[in-house]
Structure 1
Amino acid sequence: MEQLRESVAAGSACDVCGRLPHPHRFRLSLAKLAAVLPVELALHALVLALHPPYLLAVALLAISTTVLVVWVVEPSAMRLLRGWLHGPAYRMRRAARETIEKAPSLWRIRVTLDDETGQLERLTGRLAELDVNILGLTVHPLADGVRDELVVSTPAELSADELLDAIAAAGGRDAHLWPTTALALVDGQTEALNLAARVVADPAELPHAVSELLGARLVTDRLAVSNGRLPTDGSVLKIPSPWNGLIVFTRSGEGFTPAESARAHRLAQIAELSRGEVSCCR
């Protein structure tokens, strides 16, 4: 945090490279002194050796020093000493990059398991062998087993294929995984309550609330809905609309569980009740 504070306080971008923060004032002063002093000494020695008239000497020193220092020497020295000038910034960037590279990855996993004793234990054991930390777990009952949704933290070097192989070796089937963020760690009950509150406050938020709750996409093509041109693999969910007809959602490659369908229908009921109360108040 202290490094971040120093980086922010460093000011605007460097005039030379335009990307790194402006170098520290002390380092910048030393670099300018190192660039200007040799030029000043050389010019003074040359003028003293030639013995020109006083006014001419002053004019020559002022003009030549200004031109050489401002336009030639100082910019060249700044570029030459850029590595030293921006040393702290380079180190901060390198440390930040190494921290990011070593940071664990977050994944959201959905996998179907047999509803048998020890099945989940076998899966967690396999994941533990890969140094995978389970941060969240939600269980969705199915007719032929359970659909588990896990949020896990994995070592940065662990690939998605290695993770899927471990899940398959533990008896998991139809596994899908997606990179996720810390927002996925909000428990499902809290998220559902927050979305229900949004729907109560504004029933028109129902489609967006269901999409967010289930990670689904709202189908806006009414012709596809009316003509039945939608997938039949369980990846389509229809809920009653408080306004007209049905609201349809789809989730590519991942079917909706009965629990998810029940949650969506419950949100639709809340929206309908809230809409009725708003109409009565008017």
Structure 2
Amino acid sequence: MRTPAPPTADLRCDVCGQLPEPTKTRLTVANVAVMLPIELMVHALVVGAPLSLPAKVLLLTLTATILVIWVAEPSASRLLRRWLHAPALRHRRQLGTAPALWRARTVLPDQPGSLQRVTRSLARLDTNILGIHVHPVHGGVMDEFVLSAPGHLTEQDLLEALSDGGGLGSQVWPTTELAMADGQTRALSLAARVAGNPAELPHAVAELLGARIVQFPDGPHEPGTRLKIPTAWHGPLTFERPGEPFTLAESARAHRLAELAETLAHRPSSWHTTS
């Protein structure tokens, strides 16, 4: 039978295998707790011995030093290891339970109760839905979530929860607080940026989609992860987001942004001045 790893095993350095250095206060208290019984026992034995005072002092000094080096410190590190590293263990637990943000997509049947089933499945993992967008697709609806999940959950845990809730073709990606920004609000902010300088269109669309600009769009790519926007002024613009297919709503916003840039680029310069 395999012995379970101690709680402090996760604190060991991946390179040297050593535990982090405990605080001096905790190390001192641990050493005193281990040394005190030994010191009292040694003193009781030596004080009653028929030796001269200098011999007793020398014997106590040597004995105490040897016991500290060979017994007290190793015993304190071994017996009180969990207490010595309690602050680091507490910090590790806090990190493990800290909420993490994820984006998730899954296809559900377009029928009553579908969304309720998947939300219940996520709730069993203490996962909160912070945002949701629904996109009609062939054979149902694709729900896009922004999730706040406990830090110990993995991508596979969330995928299984989505599948248990009836979701098909589920995908999950780690994300940041930027995912909480409303898509329409962000599109309007970028539209104002393009209105001020239409040449900013490629960079604005890339920021809007969280994608990269593809200079030579001839290479292989995953289905749905590449978006091409035809423009008369910039030429065809191609954007790619590996592992995260573009939605219809994202495509529509990008095309409207391109239309805005084209309209402003062909306005007479006097129009910009008077407006």
Q: TM-score, normalised by structure 2?
A: 0.61
Return the match for 2:186 from 184, 188, 191: 191
Alpha-carbon distance between aligned partners in 2 of 1:186 and 1:121, rounded to the nearest angstrom: 24
Cα distance in 2 for residues equivalent to 1:254 and 1:184: 14
Matches within 5 A, 1:1-282: 98-221=93-216, 224=218, 229-231=219-221, 233-277=223-267, 279-280=269-270, 281=272
Q: d(CA) in 2 for partners of 1:93 and 1:276? A: 62
CA contact (8 A) 1:110 1:175 kept: yes
For 1:236, the aligned partner's letter is R
- Structure 1 residue 180, shift from structure 2 partner: 1.3
> How many angstroms does 1:99 deviate by?
3.5
What code does the residue aligned with 1:220 have?
Q
Residues 260/97 of structure 1: CA separation in 2 closer, same or farther (3 Å cut): same
**Matched residue of 2:255: which SS?**
helix
- Aligned-residue sequence identity (percent) comes to 51
Unaligned runs of 5+ in 2: 1-84
Judge conservation of contact 1:230–1:236 (CA < 8 Å) in 2: no
1:156 corresponds to which letter in structure 2? G
Unaligned stretches of 5+ residues in structure 1: 1-89
1:125 is paired with a residue whose SS is: helix
User: Aligned in 2, Cα 1:125/1:201: closer, same or farther, shift over 3 Å?
Assistant: same
* SS of residue in 2 equivalent to 1:138: strand
Amino acid at match of 1:115: D
CA contact (8 A) 2:127 2:149 kept: yes
Amino acid at match of 1:260: E
* CA shift in 2, pair 1:97/1:147, >3 Å: same
Q: 1:159 to 1:266 in 2, by over 3 A?
A: same
Q: Secondary structure at the match of 1:148?
A: strand
State the distance in 1 between where 2:252 and 2:212 align: 17
Structure (1/2) with the larger helix percentage: 1
Measure the CA separation in 2 of the matches of 1:91 and 1:241.
61
Query: Aligned equivalents of 2:265 and 2:91: distance in 1?
Result: 50
TM-score computed with the length of structure 1 as normaliser: 0.60
Shift of 1:231: 4.0
- Cα 1:258–1:208 change in 2 (3 A) is same
The structural deviation recorded for 1:267 is 0.5
1:170 Cα deviation after fit: 1.3
Residues in 2 aligned to 1:203 and 1:257: alpha-carbon distance in whole angstroms: 24
